[in-house]
Structure 1
Amino acid sequence: MNLRQLQYFVRIAEVGNITRAAEQLNVAQPALGLQIRQLEQELHADLLLRHSRGVELTEAGKLLLERARRLLQDVEEIKREFRGVSGHEQEMLILGLTPSIMLQIGPDMLLDAKQTMPNVSLSLVEELSYGLAMSLERGELNYAFAYGTDEPRPGVERKAILIEELLFVRPAVDTPLPESLTLAEALTHDLVQAGERDMVQRLLKSAAEKYTLNLRIVYEAQSIPAMRTLVVRGAASSFMPYGTAVEEIRAGKIAVQRISDTPLTRTLYLLKPSHAPVSRHQDAIDSFLDTIVKRLLESLGPLARRVGASAPNR
């Protein structure tokens, strides 16, 4: 048994599908399956029940998942502690970001880190919100900026930062479009969205059920670039955060409209482990994290507001 096998097993358990886990881990599926079979042979127990929709954990698998998560967190804690032993080495800050945040301010963040945290080395991890939360639980991140509407997760502290309005994005047209439209009007279009675990799709389904509207999701794509490409080609429209399509919006490759009657919003949280040790450079790190929030608010303009602030003018 080794740590890599445990990491692979945890990722499969979390996504419930060996193929998706292999894609996320950047590992060939046969090699991933072999590692799990070797782990099962080592423990003399079946860990996964395989079926057409993916995999489920056996009782032995559930037990291993609990122990493996705890062990991997301990390993990451040991690494963090020993990185700080030598005063000659820079402390490492591993920060998780969603793709939309990375597209908007990723390069600026790297420059800000140099100035704000000269004694801290910044490592950025880009993943969807639910993936960032899971990585934080495994002890792979120090902090994460993640969107979500779920209940708090065990072992993770979260602080609401800002509320962001989602946009309706559609293929570009020659004639000017109204700045806004109703949710019912937007939902008459064929849509491309991410999978069912994606927060935007969950918000859409909830709103459609609440107002008894039809939802026409004709394409599902876990790849954000693929979603944008379908919109640019005119195959579908989508609901997206501004940052997800910022380059195409600025280039005029897609058109955007706001929802006038029932705008869909998401909340950005700052996540960190509940029992994380205080950094030797905590003041600098806190200042850097606050700079990220300020840059995001500047980038989003009227589409976002700090939690507790009044709603922006439409």
Structure 2
Amino acid sequence: MNLKRLKYFVKIVDIGSLTQAADVLHIAQPALSQQLATLEGELKQQLLIRTKRGVTPTDAGKILYAHAQLILRQCEQAQSDVQASSKALSGKVSVGLAPGTAASALSLPLLRAVREQHPGIVLYLNENFGTTLSELIMNGRMDMAVLYGDKVIHGLSFQPLFKEELYLVSPSSRSLPQEDIVLAEVAEWDLMLPRKYNVIRKLVDEAFLRIGMVPRVVAEVESATTLTAAIDDDLGVTILPGSAARILAASTSARLCRIVSPVIEAPLALCLSDHLPLSIPAQAVKKILLGLVNDMMPDDLPKLRTEA
């Protein structure tokens, strides 16, 4: 195998068509087909299934595709690190920030700090759900992400940052206590929550399970825009971490109540690959990111080590 054939193979799978891949790669289709045939001959496996609609990878092709992505990414990192050793840091660094979390408040400060300290680094910011971000990191397609969660997952490592308490968020027309609300009382409300795979939903479901109750979920909403509009239209209430709750309340007339008995805490963590090393530019961005997290943490919490 050589890197060129791996690049060709990944591009074919990504596009799903030999003809279109040949156009993108600026190579004649017969030559691209020959490269693919050579690769299949080296591995003694059929890698793609050809149909009228295009091509799809076989089981062997899927395995090679996953390995090829990691191999090509590590080669790019090696080249970037060697080049960075003799000059100012440069290269691409991808950072995921889970929306509706304290992480979303980091996007602009992080972009500003990286531009000021390392103008040669091209920062890619991706605001997406935690499950999507963690999969991208596991597959080697993203460097790091700030998201909720601390469970042990093969292929990932989590560096704890801090914990946020969960709040009930309701329209101003609803009658709520002034500050705190007992979880058992929350069971009486019509809740709009994310789907069950979401970390916040899991924390809420587990808390209700501990008190022997079930939340009354009337809608599963994962769009911050839709959730804000639904709260503003008095269609129900929701449960969010403190930072996200305050952001929603700032754009509406919503009211906040801290949930107690029990208090529910969402752990915010920096998610990294447990087997792929960070490039030198990514290490620099990680250091800046942890410094920004330190700045937003309450004074009574211990500060994070910012070494990459």
TM-score of the superposition, structure 2-length normalised? 0.72
How far apart, CA to CA, are the structure 2 residues paired with 1:252 and 1:3?
46
Aligned residues of 1:116 and 1:288 also touching (Cα < 8 A): no
CA displacement at 1:108 relative to structure 2:
1.7
- Structure 1 residue ranges without an equivalent (≥5): 10-37, 49-59, 309-314
Aligned residues of 1:171 and 1:255 also touching (Cα < 8 A): yes
How far apart, CA to CA, are the structure 2 residues paired with 1:134 and 1:178?
40
- More displaced, 86-95 or 108-117? 86-95
- More displaced, 192-201 or 117-126? 117-126
Distance 1:106 1:81, change over 3 A: same
Distance 1:166 1:64, change over 3 A: farther
CA displacement at 1:135 relative to structure 2:
0.4
CA displacement at 1:176 relative to structure 2:
7.6
Letter in 2 for 1:76: R
Letter in 2 for 1:129: G
- 1:122 corresponds in structure 2 to 123
Distance 1:103 1:285, change over 3 A: closer
- Give deviations 1:85-136, integer Å, cap 9, x for gaps: 5447722221111112454232122112223434433221111111111000
- More displaced, 197-206 or 72-81? 72-81
- 2:66 corresponds in structure 1 to 69
Letter in 2 for 1:74: I
Aligned residues of 1:105 and 1:296 also touching (Cα < 8 A): no
Q: Which of 35, 41, 57 lines up with 2:50 in the alignment?
A: 41
- Aligned-partner SS, 1:236: coil
Aligned residues of 2:183 and 2:259 also touching (Cα < 8 A): yes
Matched, 1:185 2:185: yes
Mapping for residues 61-100 of structure 1, pairs under 5 Å: 61=59, 65-86=62-83, 87=87, 90-99=90-99, 100=101
Distance 1:212 1:47, change over 3 A: farther
Distance 1:94 1:283, change over 3 A: closer
Aligned residues of 2:94 and 2:124 also touching (Cα < 8 A): yes
Distance 1:113 1:307, change over 3 A: closer
How far apart, CA to CA, are the structure 2 residues paired with 1:176 and 1:183?
13
How far apart, CA to CA, are the structure 2 residues paired with 1:134 and 1:210?
30
How far apart, CA to CA, are the structure 2 residues paired with 1:286 and 1:88?
17
CA displacement at 1:252 relative to structure 2:
4.6
- Give deviations 1:15-49, integer Å, cap 9, x for gaps: xxxxxxxxxxxxxxxxxxxxxxx95437xxx989x
- Aligned-partner SS, 1:166: strand
- Aligned-partner SS, 2:219: strand
TM-score of the superposition, structure 1-length normalised? 0.71
- 1:248 corresponds in structure 2 to 248
- 1:164 corresponds in structure 2 to 164
CA displacement at 1:255 relative to structure 2:
0.9
- 2:212 corresponds in structure 1 to 212
- 1:224 corresponds in structure 2 to 224
- Give deviations 1:173-197, integer Å, cap 9, x for gaps: 3878411110011121001111121
Letter in 1 for 2:248: E
